[in-house]
């Protein structure tokens, strides 16, 4: 994370009120960027946005990407040099409940942003964050590469594949010439973990709620394999890629994977057992947290998902800094600090500093 590059850069960050966007807001502010955030209100209470006082770090626009006029005004007023697009309906199970809303946000919301960017004259780089689930999942045991087929058996995954196709179409149609003033890349990360996530139907928030309620942790698919990583690892990749887009343009205007190392790809049960143990032992009266299989009928989800990030390693010099064990330790420490009433802006900044220092060690 190059502070010299980011200092004073005008950045439009969509999704700044969410979990991942909240962390990125604080990283960018820490680097000295001038951030304008565009998003719906925080989706949960509590939220990282409120606890870290992110409204003080960004010019915050509370609006909906589905409103083309609102995003167009935001681009005109902010005059960003870099657009980082994280806003999304990001939950697989929610996409079954509201498929039309999922496509409206994840596809047409992106189209609205791209059209606003096309009309602007200040933007040099557009980074669109999609998902590891944008690939046509074949449940094979090796990682997906950026040139593997796109697909999706559920509305969320399909909407992210559609977003990738839309980004590729705008790149080829409107941001393609060698002298183009702006360049588009897409980024696909794994299942991110870290402090400040309270979303419904995500593993770590579900574990937290079970512990607080004194109930078992109920797992829908304990043997499902996912690529787990601390949120700061892919965010580091996004910033490296955005810098490359600004400095070297079209050579980096492609799709990129930012997944964990091989030891970060684990079954759901493995992660749940370790994190439940860490979180429960932080309490005044530690107790064993039982895990149960939720045997109810659930919508389809892929069994195995892995990412191959060799391209990012070779061409960006990016690699995961924190092992999964380290990511779990920092995640548990964050929630411990929150439970103890700590200043969560300071606690989050300390973890960002620790991550930055880990990249400077020989």
pLDDT by residue (tens digit) across 241-288? 999 999 998 899 999 999 999 889 999 999 998 888 887 765 555 456
CA atoms of 184 and 82, how far apart (whole Å): 10
Q: What pLDDT score was predicted for residue 210?
A: 85
Give the up-direction half-sphere exposure of residue 96: CA atoms within 13 A in the CB hemisphere.
9
Percentage above 70 pLDDT, the chain: 94
Rounded average pLDDT over 97-117? 98
- Pair 24, 30: CB distance under 8 Å: no
pLDDT digits (tens, 9 = 90+) for 157-203: 999 999 999 999 999 999 987 777 899 999 999 999 999 999 988 88
Q: What pLDDT score was predicted for residue 290?
A: 74
Q: Rounded mean pLDDT of the chain?
A: 92
Asked if CATH classification 3.40.50.720 holds for the domain at 3-358, the reply, yes or no, is yes
Measured in whole angstroms, the distance separating CA 130 from the mean position of its chain's CA atoms is 8
- Pair 143, 84: CB distance under 8 Å: no
Better-scored residue on pLDDT, 209 or 63: 63
Res. 124: pLDDT tops 60: yes
Rounded average pLDDT over 291-296? 72
Percentage above 90 pLDDT, the chain: 77
Q: What pLDDT score was predicted for residue 362?
A: 43
Rounded average pLDDT over 199-227? 87
CA atoms of 234 and 192, how far apart (whole Å): 8
Res. 21: pLDDT tops 80: yes
The single-letter DSSP state of residue 263 is: G
Q: What pLDDT score was predicted for residue 275?
A: 87
List, as one string, the DSSP characters of 192-244.
EE-TT---TT-HHHHHHHHHHHT-PEEES-TT-EEEEEETHHHHHHHHHHHHH
Domain edges within the chain? 3-358
Rounded average pLDDT over 113-123? 95
Q: What pLDDT score was predicted for residue 285?
A: 52
- Six token digits for residue 192: 């991110």
Distances (CA, A) of 15 to 27, 42, 361: 14, 9, 32
Res. 293: pLDDT tops 90: no
Question: To which residue do tokens 């980004």 refer?
Answer: 167
Q: What pLDDT score was predicted for residue 221?
A: 81
């Amino acid at each position: 994370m190059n502070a010299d590059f980011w200092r004073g850069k005008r950045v439009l960050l969509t999704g700044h009120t969410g979990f991942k966007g909240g962390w990125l807001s604080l990283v960018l502010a820490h680097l000295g960027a001038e951030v304008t955030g565009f998003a719906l209100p925080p989706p949960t209470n509590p939220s990282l946005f409120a606890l870290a006082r992110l409204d003080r770090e960004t010019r915050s626009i509370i609006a909906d990407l589905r409103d083309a006029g609102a995003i167009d005004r935001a681009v005109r007023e902010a005059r960003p040099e870099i657009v980082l697009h994280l806003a999304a309906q990001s939950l697989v199970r929610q996409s079954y409940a509201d498929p039309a809303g999922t496509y409206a946000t994840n596809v047409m919301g992106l189209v609205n942003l791209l059209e606003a960017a096309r009309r602007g004259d200040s933007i040099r780089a557009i980074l669109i964050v999609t998902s590891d689930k944008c690939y046509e999942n074949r449940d094979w045991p090796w990682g997906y590469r950026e040139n593997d087929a796109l697909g999706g058996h559920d509305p969320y995954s399909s909407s992210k594949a559609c977003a990738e196709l839309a980004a590729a179409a705008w790149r080829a149609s409107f941001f393609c010439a060698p002298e183009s003033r702006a360049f588009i890349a897409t980024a696909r990360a794994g299942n991110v973990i870290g402090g400040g996530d309270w979303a419904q139907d995500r593993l770590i928030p579900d574990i937290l709620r079970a512990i607080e309620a004194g109930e078992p942790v109920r797992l829908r698919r304990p043997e499902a394999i996912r690529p787990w990583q601390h949120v700061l690892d892919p965010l580091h990749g996004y910033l490296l890629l955005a810098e490359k887009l600004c400095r070297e343009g079209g050579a980096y205007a492609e799709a990129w994977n930012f997944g964990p190392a091989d030891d970060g790809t684990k079954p759901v049960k493995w992660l749940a057992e370790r994190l439940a143990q860490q979180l429960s032992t932080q309490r005044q009266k530690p107790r064993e947290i039982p895990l149960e299989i939720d045997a109810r009928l659930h919508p389809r989800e892929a069994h195995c998902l892995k990412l191959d990030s060799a391209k990012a390693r070779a061409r960006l010099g990016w690699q995961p800094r924190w092992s999964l064990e380290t990511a779990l330790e920092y995640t548990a420490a964050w929630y411990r600090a929150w439970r103890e009433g700590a200043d969560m802006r300071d606690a989050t900044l300390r973890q960002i500093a620790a991550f930055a220092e880990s990249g400077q060690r020989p």
